A and B are shown apart, each in its own frame.
Chain A
Amino acid sequence: MLAEGALAAGCRFFAGYPITPASEIYEVMMRELPAHGGLALSAPDEISSLCYCVGASLRGLKAMTATSGPGWALMIETAQYALMTETPVVVALVQRLGPSTGGATQGAQGDIGLAEFATSGGYTLPVFSPSNATESFELAVHAFNWSERLRTLVLLLSDKEVGMTSEVVDEEALQIPRLVNRKMATAKADYAPYAAQEPESVPAFAEVGGEIKATVTGSAHDAQGRLRKNSPQVIDVLQRLQRKIEAHAEEMALVRPDLDTDARCLLISYGVTARAARQAVSKLRTDGRRISFLQIQSLFPVPRKWLDGAAAGVEVVFVAEENLTGQYRAALTPYLSGKQIHGINRIGSQISPGEIARAVEGVMA
């Protein structure tokens, strides 16, 4: 469904390399893209996969690749290039158990840090995380829309359990957002490839091969794309790369809240674990526990307003995720000051609703 969502979003180029549990996306794109007037292709490695996608996007096509943790590790150099050159591209990262080769057929939510904190300079990469097939479709469209609108790499952070579980999808009920395309440069005179009207806005795009000269560089550059050292203009461009994301953080926020205004505790989860969490909340409420629940789909930028709203009035916050150290919990902690924060973590298998409910009761009872 993630691949179907990409096609619906207007993806016309895909380059892939086999890796469990992301290979199905690759296979669907190889099968379906030609019928959509696009091109899907086998790359010789993950580095080439993302380079081909970035090249295709520079030529004007919406492009995506799909991989898992080991492949993403190889792509990070090119991901930073996409960020620096403001090239729209989407990477579907279907997580599996790590570190290293890890467990190819075991799920995990262990790549939050590797995904989000992959850049020198610590720039915010938008990350969307679906919990089921329907969300995989819808968030794929959102991912393309934001990558086009903000001219950035966007990550779709899925995992083996979401990506490889077959489930029923009501196609008629799919919420397909209106498609967004990158703003193209029109003025031929004095076009500056990295100049934006506001310190947080996005420059118009000149495609390679078009009438307007494209100047693309991954080196520190000024608004004209010139390599400059010790230039305040270069610093302006570097700051804008982050500010354009931050300025749209609230608009990018996607959550599924289920709040109780009298709750003393809040459970937060995402991806596959959000499904167990929702079931746990239902059971806890049946047993009389007042609890709020927030499923976060847009992991980064952190949806601050939703987080503040959901946490208002509660004393205790639980974050359930399938990793060892609470990677997303660590990312949320700065925004939850004054709250008692507990992680519900496990690796090697899905966290079950019972496990979450017991953890909540263990603290709250």
Chain B
Amino acid sequence: MTPQALYLSPTAKLPYCRGCGHSLVVRQLSRALEHLGLPPRSVVLTTDIGCVGLADSLFPYLHTVHTTHGRSTAFATGMALADAILEPQGLKPIVMIGDGGAMIGLLHLVHAAQLNVDVTVLVHNNFMFGMTGGQHSALSPLNWVTATTPDGNWTPPLDLLSLLRTAHATFLARQLATSQELAGTIARAIDFPGFSVVEIVELCTAYGTRWNQVSGASLQEIILRQGYTLGAVETERERPTFRELYRHEMESPRPKRAKPGVPRLNAPAKLADEIRLVVAGTAGERVQSAAALLCRAALAAGLYSTQKNDNPVTQGSGFSLSEICLSPKPIEYTGMENPDVVLVVSEDGWKELQANGTVALCREETLLLLDAQIDAIPPTGRVVRLPLRRQANPKRAALSAIGAWLEKNPLLPAEAWEAVLALEPAERRAESAAALDIGRRLAGEGVASS
């Protein structure tokens, strides 16, 4: 097979209107590929929606992916990303997209430029949507007449290359479709390692020339009037490509992240039936991490547990709570139909439990352990008040409350706590142990029951 026959089929009947710039681009792309001598199976032509999307059937030996409107760059980026981690690699995605697709898929162009994936994008800018009937696009020049701007366009055209320059694109070029240099520019773009974009300015002969007084020469004037340059190629060779960055990242030593395995002890918990408790307090006061510690200690002692956390969407303000089930058997329902124990260490926590209905679900036998600073009088339940916030660090009050509850209900063996505290980061271990002890001591003293 001759090199020419590997790309654009010599017998191909181009499907474009007479004089349409797309025909020129397809031929120049084929010449560029011939010039580079790329094996056809190393190239994937990814086409967008529009007349430009008919190009893939013209290249019978290239991989072709015909995509959805504006998304061609994103699909091509996905292929390039995958190729970066595979062996052997060297896939070259080439995207063919129009000015309409470039705008609806602008985000994908920006991100591909940021990532510096090895993708070449050919933007076929004919200032309008052709296939759908000649509508105005974001790249239409001022005063451009289209089906949707019959009196001329009055919004300024988007300078796509400037925008992509600010997204760190490493290869930027703009050429007329009629330029003799187009094939060379496309070849340079394809050969360039990293993200490259060539904006090719052309005319839609179905609509553009029908409604606007334009010729090849005036096309150049329009571009220059917009302050754009033609023919120049800007490159930035210093930026590493995604492929290089990924390899560098993988070769760098990575911290080993051991899975925090909770040991199973031969010291079983004393729990015959499922128990459901709620721990509530203020965001940022380690309520949920105290609850997690309890669940881990329960796990070490052979129990099943579930923990559901809740907090306002802002994460770091207002209430914070955890709903916990502990059981000797696998747990089904994880909600709080009938809480057995409610530990509340701040006003924020109490208000939320009233608002979310937990307080109303308490029964006569529900244990409500409240911080002494909470004034509220629960409507039902066995209420115990302890000066947790005053005696312990408020940031540890939830863990102190858990310690106090377990002091009176010793369902977990001491070994379980030792085992999970040993897994805590060193700087936290002593604080956590102290918080538990304060709770145990306060409960032992039996302060202020009511």
Q: Which residue of B lies closest to A42 (CB)?
A: B111
List the B side residues contacting A165 at CB < 8 Å.
306-308, 334
Q: Which 9 A-B pairs have the closest CB atoms?
A: A55-B78, A51-B74, A59-B82, A56-B82, A52-B78, A217-B66, A275-B332, A209-B91, A216-B65
List the B side residues contacting A353 at CB < 8 Å.
332-333, 337
A215 at the interface (CB under 8 A from B): yes
Interface string of B303-345 (1 = CB under 8 A from A): 1111111110100000000000000000111110100000000
B449 at the interface (CB under 8 A from A): no
B contact set with A: CB distance below 8 Å: 40-42, 44, 54, 56-57, 60-68, 71, 74-86, 91, 107-108, 110-111, 246, 249-250, 254, 257, 292, 295, 299, 303-311, 313, 331-335, 337, 357
B82 engages A39 (CB within 8 Å): yes
Q: What is the CB-to-nearest-CB distance from B167 to chain A, in angstroms, rounded to a whole number?
A: 11
List the B side residues contacting A51 at CB < 8 Å.
71, 74-75, 77-78, 108
A214 at the interface (CB under 8 A from B): yes
Interface string of A203-243 (1 = CB under 8 A from B): 00000111101111111000000110000000000000000
Q: What is the CB-to-nearest-CB distance from A67 to chain B, in angstroms, rounded to a whole number?
A: 15
A218 engages B62 (CB within 8 Å): no
A51–B46 alpha-carbon span in the complex (Å): 12
List the A side residues contacting B307 at CB < 8 Å.
165-167
A11 at the interface (CB under 8 A from B): no
10 A-B pairs besides A58-B65, A63-B78, A77-B68 with CB distance below 8 A are A34-B249, A43-B111, A161-B334, A166-B306, A167-B305, A168-B304, A215-B63, A217-B56, A352-B335, A354-B337
28 A-B contacts (beta carbon < 8 Å):
A13-B82, A15-B78, A20-B313, A34-B254, A39-B84, A48-B108, A48-B111, A51-B71, A53-B78, A58-B75, A59-B83, A59-B86, A104-B313, A161-B308, A161-B334, A166-B305, A166-B307, A168-B303, A168-B306, A208-B65, A209-B42, A209-B79, A210-B41, A216-B66, A226-B57, A227-B66, A278-B332, A352-B333
A44 engages B304 (CB within 8 Å): no
A72 at the interface (CB under 8 A from B): no
A56 engages B333 (CB within 8 Å): no
How many A residues touch B, CB cutoff 8 Å?
A: 62
List the B side residues contacting A58 at CB < 8 Å.
65, 75, 78-79
Given A15-B78, A59-B78, A208-B79, A214 and B306 contact (CB-CB distance below 8 Å): no
B107 engages A44 (CB within 8 Å): yes
A64 at the interface (CB under 8 A from B): no
A279 engages B333 (CB within 8 Å): yes
A31 at the interface (CB under 8 A from B): yes
A105 at the interface (CB under 8 A from B): yes
A272–B299 alpha-carbon span in the complex (Å): 22
A57–B81 alpha-carbon span in the complex (Å): 11
List the B side residues contacting A349 at CB < 8 Å.
335, 357
Q: Which residue of B lies closest to A216 (CB)?
A: B65
A168 engages B299 (CB within 8 Å): yes
B305 engages A168 (CB within 8 Å): yes
A39 engages B246 (CB within 8 Å): yes
A48 engages B81 (CB within 8 Å): no
Q: What is the CB-to-nearest-CB distance from A86 to chain B, in angstroms, rounded to a whole number?
A: 13
A119 at the interface (CB under 8 A from B): no
A52 engages B334 (CB within 8 Å): no
B83 engages A209 (CB within 8 Å): yes
B82 engages A78 (CB within 8 Å): no
A214–B91 alpha-carbon span in the complex (Å): 13
Q: Which of B56, B85, B91, B337 has the most chain A CB atoms closer than 10 A to its own CB?
A: B85
A59 engages B66 (CB within 8 Å): no
List the A side residues contacting B331 at CB < 8 Å.
167, 275
Interface string of A151-166 (1 = CB under 8 A from B): 0000000000100111
